[in-house]
Chain A
């Protein structure tokens, strides 16, 4: 004889099997989504100030490509890209803040590595910037390549990043002895290097380009051409909440795919009647993409209208600010770059 409890659970299984998953069902499954809707803002971890990626202006407005990922999530989930609470974190604090639940999305120029993804309860959802570690030196030192490095060179950097490990791999492979000078915060690294404590400053190249603008005399420094590591930077979520993971992943993918199909904040509304079904799916005029994520069907349209596509975000934050005008690998794949997302269908 069936008990009522068994019948209801059977019904639930049947409902899932037949695709009756509703918005409330996905929301119920995701604790993070439920909490985010309840508190009315997305809890987002960012850097303590890296121009172009996440940087607060004098009145406390955050801008940057990392910031835009969180804004996209807020636009998708809450309908308003401004409903984000930003928490500035040091490299050392970031993962603990995420695993402890202080933040729900970590979008802080964080390198995707195997051990981070698998070992410490985190999941990387994608790549929003392809980067690599490089070196900055003083122009008048005459060094033009890493081949000019000699034994005993002192290198300033941050602790708590992949930088320290790459640096060791690099100098060991070259057989050069070096003095690592590792600071807790980026501002002190810049100050110490600027004062002449170190011969070179090493971190991700995007970071070098951004920090160069903070030097007392930016033109006195150059970034060497070599890249010594792969640094795919991307947003991170806690392991174990698959719905939330999908929301963040597809918020980022929407921005990238929108650029691929030429959809931007200006023309998104008018493209609802486009002839291309792929475009119509991205702006929510065809298909039921939102429901699968526990969202309404305008979620992606809101991202594009309020935050813009990836290209707009890059131009606004990185190119127009003079940090890295050349998009390099961070170009859509159809234009020869590495940005390639699975299709939204």
Chain B
């Protein structure tokens, strides 16, 4: 009893100390705010924001609330993070494998890429891609169409927009195909394990995923047409594209900078992971007659992934947090819209900064949980 008590006392004291420090600062802040006549509260979130945002995934304008503006910023942050993570992963894996290539040119090129991009501050790279792109891209009226329908200009990338008829039927058919594929896969696995029979799962799934949606076009009444962007004249020397889907240059530059920067770290993770698998594994796999491709896919990668995933999770988190540099180049992310304009218009620094911090924390923890789940799934299962 006494020994147990002794053990608990230092922990209790530490806890009390932390609570005291935290309490002191929040009390102090409260007092200071009161002294300076600043009110505290979250009521402003429902007020009309009365400012517009350049680029939004949901319907928004200044007549909506500050909370809606918060959502606009949050979604834009998530958008650039997700696209950035996808591209960073693809580039990172390719470069990581390329660094181990026996081809000197590929090997060196990959190494130089990594050393170059990971050693320059990210903010500079963002400025570089943004202002370099602005200087290098043509004005709308001078833009040469790519494939006749895509226009890359100083005012953004304009691509044809999909105009769907009965989109829901198409989506249902796709969903049905995916569910069917999953069922067939698990059935084929059982069949293989129990009876040793093979069925061509890949071809059946491909047939389903492609076939069913096509069927929805033919008999389901689904129609797809394209809205091609067209040039509009605003003034004598001022043009823009109307219609189609426009991606602002800020989004493109930010994604590019984030992806290229983070990819270098992921490439190093991938290289370390592959090199971390002992040579004996590769030789043993080759000696039982697996092709080099099979060796990589069936033996090396599953083991390497266990080493790659945890540090790559860090990089995903970094990319998400780094996306807050968007404010420098006018991409309307959470920091620019909410911790920027909204903070300024309302003056509610403590409320808004605390919400923003909590939001980034939630985003990061979500990514962590997802990646930890995946890590656990591929970890060695001791039997």
Q: Is the CB of B36 within 8 A of A182?
A: no
Cα distance, A92 to B237, chains bound together (Å)? 34
| Chain A residues in 8 Å Cβ range of B329 | 183, 188
| Chain A residues in 8 Å Cβ range of B154 | 195-197
Q: Is the CB of B238 within 8 A of A180?
A: no
Stretch at the interface among B144-152, B190-198, B341-349: B341-349
Interface range, B side: 35 or more
From A116, A172, A181, A199, contact of B347 by CB (8 A): A116
A152 to chain B, nearest CB (A): 5
Cα distance, A58 to B238, chains bound together (Å)? 37
Within 8 Å of chain A (Cβ to Cβ): is B38? yes
B327 to chain A, nearest CB (A): 5
A101-141 interface with B by 8 A CB criterion: 115-116, 119-121, 137-138, 140-141
Within 8 Å of chain A (Cβ to Cβ): is B10? no
| Chain B residues in 8 Å Cβ range of A115 | 347
Within 8 Å of chain B (Cβ to Cβ): is A95? yes
| Chain B residues in 8 Å Cβ range of A148 | 235
Residue from B155, B235, B348 whose CB has the most chain A CB atoms within 10 Å: B235
Within 8 Å of chain B (Cβ to Cβ): is A319? no
Q: Is the CB of A159 within 8 A of B344?
A: yes
Q: Is the CB of B234 within 8 A of A92?
A: no
Within 8 Å of chain B (Cβ to Cβ): is A12? no
Q: Is the CB of B347 within 8 A of A159?
A: no
Within 8 Å of chain A (Cβ to Cβ): is B283? no
Q: Is the CB of B237 within 8 A of A181?
A: no
- Shortest Cβ distance from A141 into B: residue: B235
- Shortest Cβ distance from A182 into B: residue: B330
B30-83 interface with A by 8 A CB criterion: 33, 35-39, 50-54, 61-62
A 166-206 to B, binary, CB cutoff 8 A, 1 in contact else 0: 01110010000011111111001001100111010000000
B30 to chain A, nearest CB (A): 14
From B38, B53, B240, contact of A99 by CB (8 A): B38
Within 8 Å of chain A (Cβ to Cβ): is B236? yes
| Chain A residues in 8 Å Cβ range of B343 | 92, 160
Within 8 Å of chain B (Cβ to Cβ): is A161? yes
A244 to chain B, nearest CB (A): 13
Within 8 Å of chain A (Cβ to Cβ): is B361? no
Cα distance, A167 to B134, chains bound together (Å)? 24
Q: Is the CB of B341 within 8 A of A143?
A: no
From B35, B52, B61, B344, contact of A160 by CB (8 A): B344
| Chain B residues in 8 Å Cβ range of A11 | none
From A141, A167, A192, contact of B237 by CB (8 A): A141
From A120, A140, A192, contact of B134 by CB (8 A): A192
Cα distance, A112 to B95, chains bound together (Å)? 55
Within 8 Å of chain B (Cβ to Cβ): is A154? yes
Q: Is the CB of B38 within 8 A of A120?
A: yes
From A137, A182, A240, contact of B341 by CB (8 A): A182
Q: Is the CB of B62 within 8 A of A168?
A: yes
Interface range, A side: 35 or more
Given contacts A142-B236, A191-B131, A239-B37, contact A182 B332 (CB under 8 A): yes
- Shortest Cβ distance from B233 into A: residue: A150
Cα distance, A152 to B238, chains bound together (Å)? 11
Q: Is the CB of B330 within 8 A of A140?
A: no
Within 8 Å of chain B (Cβ to Cβ): is A164? yes
| Chain B residues in 8 Å Cβ range of A121 | 33, 36-38, 347
B195 to chain A, nearest CB (A): 63
Cα distance, A80 to B330, chains bound together (Å)? 41
Residue from A138, A159, A169 whose CB has the most chain B CB atoms within 10 Å: A159
- Shortest Cβ distance from B53 into A: residue: A180
A119 to chain B, nearest CB (A): 6
Given contacts A121-B37, A164-B341, A179-B54, contact A95 B242 (CB under 8 A): no
Q: Is the CB of A199 within 8 A of B235?
A: yes
A341 to chain B, nearest CB (A): 26
Q: Is the CB of A181 within 8 A of B54?
A: yes
Q: Is the CB of A140 within 8 A of B237?
A: yes
B144 to chain A, nearest CB (A): 17
Given contacts A96-B349, A121-B37, contact A160 B341 (CB under 8 A): yes
Q: What residues make up the interface of B, taking CB atoms closer than 8 Å to A?
A: 33, 35-39, 50-54, 61-62, 131, 134-135, 139, 154-155, 232, 234-238, 240, 242, 248-250, 327-330, 332, 336, 340-341, 343-349
Counting from the closest, the 10 A-B pairs by CB-CB distance are: A120-B347, A142-B236, A160-B344, A195-B134, A121-B38, A141-B235, A121-B37, A239-B37, A164-B51, A121-B36
Q: What residues make up the interface of A, taking CB atoms closer than 8 Å to B?
A: 91-92, 95-96, 99, 115-116, 119-121, 137-138, 140-143, 148-150, 152-154, 156, 159-161, 164-165, 167-169, 172, 178-185, 188, 191-192, 195-197, 199, 238-240
Given contacts A115-B347, A183-B329, A196-B154, 16 further A-B contacts (CB under 8 A): A99-B36, A120-B346, A120-B348, A121-B347, A142-B235, A154-B155, A165-B51, A165-B345, A168-B51, A182-B336, A182-B341, A183-B328, A184-B336, A188-B329, A195-B135, A196-B139
